[in-house]
Structure 1
Amino acid sequence: MDYLNVGRSGLRVSRACLGTMNFGTEHGLAASDEAEAGRIIGAFIDAGGTFIDTADLYHRGETEEIVGRALKGRREWVVLATKGAMPVGTEGRGLSRRHLTRALDASLRRLGTDYIDLYQCHQWDPATPIEETMATLDGFVRAGKVRYLGCSNFTATQIVESQWAAARVGGAPFVSLQPQYSLIQRVIEAEILPVCARHGIGTVVYGTLGGGVLTGRYRPGETPDPDSRMGRLLGMAGADRWARSLLNDRNLAIAEGLVKVAAEVGAAPAEVALAWVAGRPGVTSVLIGPRSVRQLRENLAAFELVLPEEAVARLDDISLRDLDPMDGTLFHLVPR
């Protein structure tokens, strides 16, 4: 496992980041129960992984509780990241001082820890002045409850406004951004990655398998297996549209090209998709979301895969063809 500093900070993390959105039973959809989640976390740490990401929203707080219990006795071995802003149960939402203070204290309680290594704003809040948000977050750092600050799903303009606001209030700036990035979603290359480089922000990218499209499991003209993730989402209220937006002709054509490249280099399509993202300029760490120890090991194999230059060039060409930068699928959670 390789390790990099996050942006222009002293925070050092593993190139693989264990995403925990699948840990919990609140929402089903083949999620991992607590026993399996514990095995995944243990195997990840044993493999040299040091970076674990969660959020208060995941499974209505159940995920944070699972992660907290799994880390008992080895909390100091990992960089623990969580996110706030979304509603959990009867709690409010947003990036106001009132909500973030309540959200952080609740996350600390569920995670069974007295500090968060990386606390992230889950999404932009247009109803709260950004100066209030950055001053509140700086207060968390000064109180010792948080070590570093980050954001998720911010646009380039929102990132710049946040960094300027931090400077105006004399507070700690963001050191990380969590954006979506994959062979089928390259919009961040236009403005977001250059802005992150300019402002010393590292990236922890998610969605690298395109919701499963880049595993090679789905083919043009074929109906998804009912037992597959997309097969379960199709027809589900609130999720059908999201699934169909991923299973469009362009994305499936990219997946077909990926399958061919993967066969030539002797690796699984998912490994190649992850390796391509991990090798992109400006990427600090790559989120993986395994539902089992077997999937974890398959994902980790990608971080040992060195793609030939010719394969990288072909993947670049395949994924840029017919790309409309305004047609990217922006982040939104599948309604549960």
Structure 2
Amino acid sequence: MVVIFDSALRGETFRLGNHDLPRLFNGLWQLSSNSWGSAPAAKIRRQMAIYAENGYTAFADHYGPAEILFGEFREKWSDPQEIFGATKWCVFRTVEPTRALVEEAVDDRLARMQSHRIDLLQFHWQDYDDTRYLKALHHLKDLQGEGKIGLIGLCNFNSAVMDEICTELGSGTIVSNQVQFSLIDVRPLYAMAEVCNRHNVKLLTYGTLCGGFLADAWLGKEEPDLYSGSLTPSQRKYLDMITRAWGSWSLFQDLLKELRAIADKYDGMSIANVATRWVLDHPFVGAVIIGVRMGVSEHTDDNQKVYSFRLDGDDRVKIEAVLARSNGAQLINSIGDCGAEYR
């Protein structure tokens, strides 16, 4: 992948279809619940503008009022074409994906986002045994040809099914797959990476900071109580993964110490910067989607630092030495391939 420094975007970009996009996306899933904090709609839209002004021009997700607030923000932006919106259509129950049903789902997204075309529609289908996901995708491809969809991506599809879909629909139809990828969850390094390379698909990754655990704030801290009520929904999810599937809180502290030592090599960097850079350095990764609490907290300056350095071979060896002591390499067997935890 060619990485371009674009001063207008203040960082790296990657090519997705006919778009040059920043390698950090704004993830809007935290608008799904007040458990992450809440803010008035006007304040959320103002903070979206602040992010865009700082080069974070790509927004992703559909939870809660995310699509509506994004559409209102983009409609008032001086040049709406500068702003990229990715949303989802998720099918969790048995349906017959007729042309009418698929088009209705797309039209609903368009109405909520106040747009005539969805920049990137990410498709999720819960039941792999029901292969009508292929029928749904053919309808999406037809709607793409009619101009209602710009790009088609997947969300939480495993390697084998993604390979089947890309082969069925033809090269270049599927441009992305949104999956979990971090120093804790390394499952994309296996079959997923090979399938991405075969079909020129880029991963849009989430969970890269494990709900904020891969950060200086947790260095040297005691293991939190999973049931204390003080953790966000994301933190409860990733704490369970860290301490049960991946390893232990003690080993996690060793990882944070190593990341802090590496960050100290690069003036002003944080643990979160190093953890994000590690993911971005994999060529099959297009962008990291960072969950943002619009109107509640703001980390544009710190996140942007990830563009200013690269990990060297010594850094990667030291990180790998800690990861080798974990169960990370076994997660693809104990949990399953990408997205298996949601099925």
Q: What is the CA–CA distance in structure 1 between the aligned matches of 2:209 and 2:96, rounded to whole Å?
A: 29
Deviates more, 1:107-116 or 1:214-223: 214-223
Matched, 1:245 2:248: no
SS in structure 2 opposite 1:270? helix
1:304 to 302, 308, 329: 308
Structure 2 matches for 1:133-282, cutoff 5 A? Answer: 133-167=136-170, 173-218=173-218, 222-224=222-224, 231=231, 233=233, 243-248=239-244, 250=247, 252=249, 253-266=251-264, 267-282=269-284
Kindly indicate whether the alpha-carbon contact (under 8 Å) linking 1:23 and 1:66 is maintained by their aligned counterparts in 2: no
Aligned-pair RMSD on alpha carbons? 3.1
Structure 2 matches for 1:61-76, cutoff 5 A? Answer: 62-74=65-77, 75-76=80-81
CA, structure 1 residues 30+241, in 2 after alignment: closer, same or farther (shift >3 Å)? closer
Shift of 1:280: 1.9
Q: What is the CA–CA distance in structure 2 between the aligned matches of 1:95 and 1:295, rounded to whole Å?
A: 43
Q: Deviations over 1:159-200 (max 9, x none)?
A: 111112214xxx972011111100000011110011011011
Kindly indicate whether the alpha-carbon contact (under 8 Å) linking 2:219 and 2:257 is maintained by their aligned counterparts in 1: no
Shift of 1:94: 6.0
Normalised by the length of structure 2, the TM-score is 0.80
Matched, 1:327 2:328: no
Matched, 1:78 2:80: no
Between Structure 1 and Structure 2, the one with more strand by share is 2
1:50 to 42, 46, 57: 57
Specify every segment of 5 or more residues in structure 2 that has no aligned partner in the other structure, as ranges: 1-10
Q: What is the CA–CA distance in structure 2 between the aligned matches of 1:184 and 1:114, rounded to whole Å?
A: 39
CA, structure 1 residues 256+165, in 2 after alignment: closer, same or farther (shift >3 Å)? same
CA, structure 1 residues 310+251, in 2 after alignment: closer, same or farther (shift >3 Å)? farther
* Aligned positions, number: 315
Q: Deviations over 1:53-104 (max 9, x none)?
A: 112xx12xx11111111112332112211110246xxxx7768235432221
Normalised by the length of structure 1, the TM-score is 0.82
Kindly indicate whether the alpha-carbon contact (under 8 Å) linking 1:85 and 1:99 is maintained by their aligned counterparts in 2: no
Kindly indicate whether the alpha-carbon contact (under 8 Å) linking 1:16 and 1:303 is maintained by their aligned counterparts in 2: no
Specify every segment of 5 or more residues in structure 1 that has no aligned partner in the other structure, as ranges: none
Shift of 1:294: 2.6
Shift of 1:35: 3.6
Shift of 1:233: 4.9
Identity of aligned residues (%): 22
Kindly indicate whether the alpha-carbon contact (under 8 Å) linking 2:157 and 2:339 is maintained by their aligned counterparts in 1: no
Kindly indicate whether the alpha-carbon contact (under 8 Å) linking 2:144 and 2:151 is maintained by their aligned counterparts in 1: yes
